[in-house]
DNA sequence: CACATAATCTTGAATTATTCAAGACAATTG
DNA sequence: CAATTGTCTTGAATAATTCAAGATTATGTG
């Protein structure tokens, strides 16, 4: 579960280049950060990136996250009440559980396997391209806290 | 679809009181606004409310929306890239389609009837109380616009 | 119905996440 | 290695939302 991917720099470079983007230190660092810590928000990614590249600005991280997201390398999730989170786009079909209290995010596989809820609708008039399922609840740690 | 509800002031008052809250002009006005325009954000609700109660502040609207939401009278939805939207809690089980371009929101019934995707999971360790499905796509109007 | 009390609203300001803009700099192409 | 275009840095702006203090009001009680 949440198996940590450990890509080589070359693999990361290739995926960035393959998406038609220039390969930069910042982009490599952001991908690396998200490999070790999925569902991180911009600020958390920023903190990780700074360890390797102290000169990096928060705005650069925002730019990289936006670029990689629209290139399809990252997936952005934005649950209510918390800042946007990012994860590597693995291609598998999973959803998220978000803690109502501390905003912790965890992956969950689709309960029903083939994701029937995600079947595109044709009667709405919308041209649907994505579906997203978010579960809300209390994470194990917050269940132990009273009130 | 999206059948407009037209409650009497008495009905609205009763539901507020029934939720253990004081009945105020602002709260009645917010509920009334959301009856005629579902999925409105705080600012839109504010504009509607001002028509009846010119002295109302935006902060009051935020307060009312928060109070009514935690009392269970409203449901708050917060799709990525757009501000939070509110709708009357009707008790039925429906989801939302959000336009990727203009952020329009529309209700959709659960594709599979009994909402299997919403079955609480027990293996995640989370105490799940809510599930939310959001579809993303282009609304009919935006499909006509060229990129 | 007047009062007390606690909830609610108003006004004004602060926060947080995120985006914009202009110029400096760096990655790819040839 | 020079040209080009994309990307990053710095500095500031925006938008949504929240906080705080005092004024006001809804509601239960006498």
Q: What is the pLDDT of residue A86?
A: 95
Averaged pLDDT for residues A17-26: 96
Report whether pLDDT(A88) > 90. Answer: yes
Tell how many helices (H) and how many strands (E) occur in chain B. Answer: 5, 6
Q: Specify the 3-state DSSP secondary structure of A113.
A: coil
Q: What is the pLDDT of residue A3?
A: 55
Beta-carbon pairs below 8 A across chains A and B: 127
Q: What is the pLDDT of residue B99?
A: 87
B131 Cβ partners below 8 Å, 6+ apart?
A133, A134, A135, A136, B115, B117, B118, B120
Averaged pLDDT for residues A97-126: 72
A20 Cβ partners below 8 Å, 6+ apart?
A71
Cβ separation of A111 and B121 shorter than 8 Å? Answer: yes
Residue of B nearest to A81 (CA): B78
Dihedral sign, CA of B102, B48, B11, B14?
positive
Q: Specify the 3-state DSSP secondary structure of A48.
A: helix
A19 Cβ partners below 8 Å, 6+ apart?
A68, A71, A72, A73
- CA B134 – CA A138 distance, rounded (Å): 21
Report whether pLDDT(A111) > 60. Answer: no
The integer distance in angstroms from the CA atom of A47 to the C1' atom of D3 is 35
User: If you measure CA to C1', which residue is closest to nucleotide C6?
Assistant: B22
| Cβ–Cβ contact B147 with A under 8 A | no
Report whether pLDDT(A80) > 80. Answer: no
Averaged pLDDT for residues A102-124: 67
Report whether pLDDT(A108) > 90. Answer: no
Task: Give the E-state strand segments of chain B in sequence order.
Answer: 40-41, 74-77, 85-88, 94-99, 105-109, 127-138
Residues of chain B with pLDDT under 70: 1-5, 110-122, 146-147
Report whether pLDDT(A1) > 60. Answer: no
Tell me how far CA of residue A32 lies from CA of A25, A45, A72, B31, in angstroms. 10, 9, 16, 47
Q: What is the pLDDT of residue B122?
A: 64
For residues A37 and A133, the model is more confident at: A37
The integer distance in angstroms from the CA atom of A23 to the C1' atom of C29 is 15
- State chain A's mean pLDDT as an integer: 86
Q: What is the pLDDT of residue B120?
A: 57
Q: Cα B119 vs. chain centroid, distance in angstroms?
A: 22
For residues A109 and A24, the model is more confident at: A24
The answer to whether B23 CB is within 7 Å of strand D is: yes
- CA A26 – CA A58 distance, rounded (Å): 11
Q: What is the pLDDT of residue B63?
A: 97
The integer distance in angstroms from the CA atom of A23 to the C1' atom of D3 is 19
How many of the other CB atoms lie within 10 Å of CB of B110? 17
- CA B44 – CA B41 distance, rounded (Å): 5
Confidence of residue A113 (pLDDT cuts 50, 70, 90): very low
Report whether pLDDT(A45) > 50. Answer: yes
Smallest Cβ–Cβ distance between A133 and the set B77, B133, B137 belongs to: B133
- Positions on chain D within 7 A of a protein C-beta: 6-12, 15-20, 25-27
Q: What's the pTM value of the predicted model, to 2 decimals?
A: 0.83
Confidence of residue A85 (pLDDT cuts 50, 70, 90): very high
Question: Residue A83 has what DSSP assignment?
Answer: -
The answer to whether A93 CB is within 7 Å of strand D is: no
Q: What is the pLDDT of residue A118?
A: 58
Confidence of residue A119 (pLDDT cuts 50, 70, 90): low
Smallest Cβ–Cβ distance between B136 and the set A125, A130, A137 belongs to: A130
Residue of A nearest to B104 (CA): A126
Q: What is the pLDDT of residue B117?
A: 53
């Amino acid at each position: 579960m949440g198996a940590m991917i450990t890509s080589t720099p070359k693999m990361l470079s290739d995926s960035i280049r393959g998406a038609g983007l220039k390969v930069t230190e910042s982009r490599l660092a952001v991908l690396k950060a998200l490999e070790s810590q999925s569902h991180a928000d911009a600020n958390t990614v920023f903190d990780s990136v700074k360890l390797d590249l102290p000169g990096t600005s928060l705005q650069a991280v925002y730019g990289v996250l936006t670029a990689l997201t629209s290139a399809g390398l990252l997936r952005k999730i934005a649950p209510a009440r918390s800042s946007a989170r990012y994860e590597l786009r693995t291609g598998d079909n999973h959803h998220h559980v978000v803690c109502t209290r501390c905003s912790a995010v965890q992956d969950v596989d689709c309960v029903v396997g083939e994701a029937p809820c995600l079947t595109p609708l044709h009667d709405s008039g919308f041209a649907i391209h994505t579906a997203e399922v978010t579960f809300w609840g209390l994470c194990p740690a917050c269940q132990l806290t009273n009130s």
